[in-house]
Amino acid sequence: MAHLAQLRALIDELVAAVTSIPETQHERRDACREYVLRSLRHHTFTRTNQFEVQDRLNGLEERFCVVGRDALGEALRKRLDALEPHRTQTTPEVLHLLLELADQPVQKSKLSD
């Protein structure tokens, strides 16, 4: 885990970007920052399994096609292929984050977005 000062700086940015809590509500902002710091330092999640991430993405691509949203499946495959040359050690973890944040993409995603 990053040096605490570095992590705190990133947490400040994250809280500002995600919550848009006005500066006037500084107590609430501070509470959010502390909550984030605690949650990120003391959690019980295991490390990302890159093969599981790959399986989930393949499954999603397949589901897009099964429900007749082939264009979305193709768009996803095209981006995953384009990402290959840029792959780093943390790419599976970033993709894991995106899978966790995915909000019913099979039903709600629009290609026009």
Partner 1 sequence: MPPNERAEKQAAAQQAVDILHEIATILNCHLDRRTLSICISMIENGVNPEALANVIKELRKHGQEAQLEAAAAASSRRR
Residue 66 binds partner 1, judged by CB under 8 A:
no
Residue 113 binds partner 1, judged by CB under 8 A:
yes
Residue 4 binds partner 1, judged by CB under 8 A:
no
Distance CA 29, CA 3 (A): 21
Distance CA 61, CA 50 (A): 17
Distance CA 53, CA 50 (A): 5
Figure out which of the listed residues 6, 49, 54, 58 binds partner 1, where binding follows CB under 8 A: 6
Figure out which of the listed residues 7, 50, 63, 65 binds partner 1, where binding follows CB under 8 A: 7
